[in-house]
Structure 1
């Protein structure tokens, strides 16, 4: 099975390499205007699942336009949300009411994925990803703010934490991908690679079952958007650049950090938590029962309570 996983990874690399030669985001995500329209419609419907007042803004960066969804009281502490791969900022619908109660929330769409951000440059390097987010932070004059990153968003939050003089305060990682070690169960995650290469609703449902202990909890409205994201984002070269951080990089992190994983996570395991505790000086780790990689949906209340308790103290 490992050989199959390697072959799939190579195939994905070849597809992504071809895509990376393009100069515009639309060239390798939305092949037609109808695809883009279908996705944007699904995004708007999914965002309504937040069920709280929010505003949407576009911020100009050196690499294109960043889409930011803002909610919560203006006089509370700032909180940045970094979503998982192809999930977009709409993924926070099971959590946003709890998170926005005592925080001013800024949910940022990653610029190299299907969402409402718009990449006008070539695919970004890790250093450029950090610049992208720091330009947004500067635009909103964010300082000593908290951050929650899910999956790839957790990797990005960790990347930002390794930067000198980063402006963040507390950091929460929800099953961070490729952050402390490589994928824990490649056999079970092979469905996600197959979905990328040969998208279909059947493969999509299989992937959800692999990554979630309670796929029935996922809103059909959100599932539609998430499926279209996976269908159109067939190439994702940035995923191949995500590697676990070195011992020295992890030791350099001075921010208080909380790492949450599900007990049935296909991305992380006890080994991930042990390495995190070994090298990050100010860290708490929690394993949530009956939860998979999508723990923010699988066990939303438990996850929300753990986050709020950490951010409060």
Structure 2
């Protein structure tokens, strides 16, 4: 009888063990950061206070470095993986995370080649290696099947990941995906961004935010501070020049449901993006009114409702 009770206690303890416990200890670059990283991490944590939901931070060792993943939502709920936009980090989801975590377990991954809390120590030289890195992180998270939401450059990476292996991805939700369906169209905003390359860093950031958002005042001051500090850190986006729209054959090979949302004042996309999305086997495209490229912030309530409806 005593042996049976001991075995039962052992099984119960094993069952209660969190499979992610081994990833929860912050590594040295977080606990004893450089001066520039310390300021950025402090700003990152201030933005995380806007999430309004409980979360855990994981630090997953990979071939190329340490992947920082923020996990929120009910433990046994349907998993959703978030891929943020360029220079945005996972904190960009602060207007959306409360809605997304009501019925889903959400995994927000910081891209390893730029500002965020992921840490690169072995360079990634190609898009294929980027995909391999994401697959390594997802394997460590033990996700058998999941939805993927990608914003801007994260949308392009989401499609690239799906084309590499469709079996595990239940659906794709793309928010103003960059260079995915069409080339970035020439525009006045794009020209202004090019012109300000010869201005101060402050002016460049100010113009970038104005061209990407229909209402910069909607963006949290904490997030803007983090974003600005992030632009001062080193970035290794060598593969960006190889990003180009996927072919019609590639896009039409996607067999999972796909939802594409763009803003009506989107510098990155035009209506052609929506038209192409509507030709996919299970695709749908929509234009969100009064929104720019940062539509998940510009029209958070509308976008959140459409995301939840799609994920059902």
Bin of the TM-score, shorter chain as denominator length: 0.7 to 0.9
When normalised by structure 1's length, the TM-score is 0.85
Equivalences for residues 115-134 of structure 1 within 5 A: 115-134=116-135
Q: For the Cα contact (< 8 Å) 1:58–1:68, is it kept in 2? A: yes
Match of 1:36 in 2: 37
When normalised by structure 2's length, the TM-score is 0.85
Q: For the Cα contact (< 8 Å) 2:259–2:277, is it kept in 1? A: no
Match of 1:212 in 2: 213
Counterparts in 2 of 1:149 and 1:165: CA distance versus 1, 3 Å = closer
Residue 167 (structure 1) aligned with residue 173 (structure 2): no
Q: Distance in 2 between matches of 1:248 and 1:197?
A: 40
Q: Report how far residue 64 of structure 1 moved.
A: 1.0
Q: Distance in 2 between matches of 1:234 and 1:58?
A: 19
Q: Distance in 1 between matches of 2:201 and 2:39?
A: 16
Q: Deviations over 1:67-101 (max 9, x none)?
A: 00000000110010100001000000000000011
> For the pair shown, which has the larger CA radius of gyration, 1 or 2?
2
Q: Deviations over 1:131-154 (max 9, x none)?
A: 111111111111221111000110
Gaps of 5+ in 2: 1-32
Match of 2:99 in 1: 98
Counterparts in 2 of 1:256 and 1:60: CA distance versus 1, 3 Å = same
Q: Across the two proteins, how many residue pairs are aligned to each other?
A: 280
Match of 2:226 in 1: 225
Q: Report how far residue 130 of structure 1 moved.
A: 1.2
Q: For the Cα contact (< 8 Å) 2:184–2:269, is it kept in 1? A: yes
Greater relative contact order: 1 or 2 (C-alpha under 8 angstroms, separation 6 or more)? Answer: 1
Equivalences for residues 1-313 of structure 1 within 5 A: 33-192=34-193, 200-233=201-234, 236-278=237-279, 280-312=280-312
- Higher alpha-carbon deviation: 139-148 or 295-304: 139-148
SS at match of 1:162: helix
Q: Deviations over 1:180-222 (max 9, x none)?
A: 1111235413455567776522221121111100110100000
Q: For the Cα contact (< 8 Å) 1:199–1:230, is it kept in 2? A: no
Q: Report how far residue 239 of structure 1 moved.
A: 2.0
SS at match of 1:232: coil
Q: Deviations over 1:221-279 (max 9, x none)?
A: 0000111122334663232221111222212211110000000000001112222333x
Q: For the Cα contact (< 8 Å) 1:195–1:230, is it kept in 2? A: no
Gaps of 5+ in 1: 1-31
Q: For the Cα contact (< 8 Å) 1:199–1:231, is it kept in 2? A: no
RMSD, aligned α-carbons: 1.8
Q: For the Cα contact (< 8 Å) 2:64–2:124, is it kept in 1? A: no
